[in-house]
Structure 1
């Protein structure tokens, strides 16, 4: 999916580096940053998965927010593309929410991750998208901590409540369970999913405040 963006030479070639002002990186952006962005987003989005409705719900939250950003930055056509995916995800969520009857698989997660990166690049709001994507960046860091050998899944009890699968935290789902266990005796799958959704919404709203206020 990065090849068409490279061919049309989309996006801005200027990046802002704190204390160094804005610099033009020319074809380095097209030939290096675009492929890295597409591949990185698709792979990272696929890391945080395996819970009923998690991938779909996260896609709805992030793409709805980025569609709004695209609209207010005069890229209504890009906003329309994002909303089309959001509508499709809502339809899929009816069958993917807990308890799920169908599961997305890599095909959907790769598509969502790629669309997030494409919208950010073509809409020239990469900084906002990276900030919004911070949960997935954290997920990659945690997965690397486990040398990419640890799973996001947790250990279920007979009553449906969940326990930590490892002694250490190797995924955002583990971190969510660890935090929730501080406040609840029994934590269920839906609790973890909604906890991540809430954090994602907070990050989206926070990014809007930060970037609209010119704080970054």
Structure 2
């Protein structure tokens, strides 16, 4: 538990520090990515910034809303899903690359306990985190430092990002005024139910094959 908590806090601290140090980047993105551009230019900019969300303070919620508003619900969802999933994969592999360095500071017993804990609760945690800034990047990194298979991480990240992308894209395409707090609550509830359903299906399949 101590291992996961320390890595999680370090990652959160780095993400928050990045936001504070590069606050002007967020303002620049907000000012320069808008509906006045051609769809091709907008798509390229939005994809590039969202894919770099792990490293830069990107206003991803705003971009996902604009994706739906400018590209429509289908292509807006697709753009948000692909770019945000790419950012999560990058965060996962950063964690996996850093894992040998963290192992030097923690006992094998602590690592085993962390792996078991993340195996029990990691799937749902990954899914929920995709609706929350900072936590999304931090949990992706933490997942990379555990024994979680990449395929499992990719599946539950995709579920979380899909629900988030659909929610923001549809609200962006149908509404000019959006309560982001309400959107976040709805997205989390749907993501939890969806993730829980997927886990039950996979568990039943596993029991039938054994």
TM-score (structure 1 length as normaliser): 0.29
Higher RCO by CA contacts (8 Å cutoff, separation 6 or greater): 2
Q: Considering fraction of residues, name the structure with more strand.
A: 1
Q: Considering fraction of residues, name the structure with more helix.
A: 2
TM-score (structure 2 length as normaliser): 0.29
